[in-house]
Structure 1
Amino acid sequence: MTVITLLYNAVTPPAIPRIEENSKSMARPADPSVRTALIEAAARRVADGGVDALSLRRVAADVGASTQAVYTHFGSKDDLVRSVVEEAFARLDDEVRAVPVTDDPLHDLVEVAAAYRHNALINAHLYRVMFEVNPLALTSPAAHVESAGTDAPPEKSEIGLHAFAAMVERVARCVDEGIISGEPAQLALQVWATAHGVVSLEIAGFLDDDGADTFDGATSATFRGLVRGSRP
């Protein structure tokens, strides 16, 4: 068993809490714990077998609820899948935006990359879905950063763009300080692509060494390249 396999097993989220069938209070449509449990169960189902293998009956059974509970909270299978992706991006957005802002923009950007990896590992089931099955169509985030990068709570349909905008904002500080040069959104795409690539390999179990070391090495190389590319 490789180190990365052990790491992946260690960060696999705990078992989905089951809803007691004899507890009417847990089955109320307004109970957010039911919705969260269904999202977690659906994420695992999609991550393991894809959307085509997703059965609302099985998702409901995973948490001890009725199939009607799925329709009550989501309306349809498509809406459930969309909610899974939205939840995945929302957790990423929260993790990245929680990184403190200091007087060292480059250090902050490094910490944002680390937060990206941490979120992916503790929410591996969601992370595997958010890019493989993406109804938010995050195909050209750079074109929408201005509308997504605001302080107002993002609309659910823009939560993916909002998460990307959080990284763009940190890159923009580096540009403003003259540490790197270029268009912030394009530079942020380079950072995101590097982080996503290594994390995806780590979660899939393709790394034989310590995933943290590989991630740090890859992202550090990207940051060094951005800094060197800014020098005359």
Structure 2
Amino acid sequence: MEPLTLEEARVLGTLMEKARTVPDSYPMTLNALVAGCNQKSARDPVTNLSEAEVQEALDGLKRRSLAFATSGGRVTRWEHNFQRAMVVPEQSAVLLGLLMLRGPQTAGELRIHSERWYRFADISSVEAFLDELRSRTEATGGPLVVQWPRAAGAREARWAHLLCGPVDVAAAEACAEAKAGNGALAARVSALEEEVAELRDLVTDLATQLGLSPPGHQKTDDPT
């Protein structure tokens, strides 16, 4: 199958998610799909796709028989055709959908995040389906996931989907480490700023008790 674009993967994953988590609102209108693609929770990365971009992604998915529009009603609605087109069981479809929406994850994270989609018995069952997806032969379309090497200090290795084409594992890991480092730096800066603010308040309070001008304020002489 022709690799998906990042936009197509986001739209497809959103259709797969909403079909399981909010069946009363499924199939989805274009407006609802745009909102689902761009929601801030359960998405990595967070996107800001326009209606035109989502419609273009839908057209691409329709061309691959991965999604189709339903007739009837005043508004066109869309639904996915992932399991039939890719010939995978429900459990594998759930894992691939989560990987498309949330990025690389460990088997443990996938089990936690899948609660509203499908309840896996344990991590071993998640790993079993991931192994099946990784071991698919070329005759059946080839592997659909790849396992990244376990990062230093990590307890589990992460998995990524291959629906958008081959993954440069080394580059992806370097990017993930840089992202984690930036997050840690931001957290440290925020903690230091809070500590400085607390110290400033403490110094101001002490200065007031001693009858001194707070730091940064000049005490004016009493004209009387």
TM range (shorter): under 0.3
Structure possessing the higher relative contact order (Cα contacts under 8 Å, 6 or more residues apart): 1
Give the TM-score of the pair, scaled to structure 2: 0.27
Give the TM-score of the pair, scaled to structure 1: 0.26
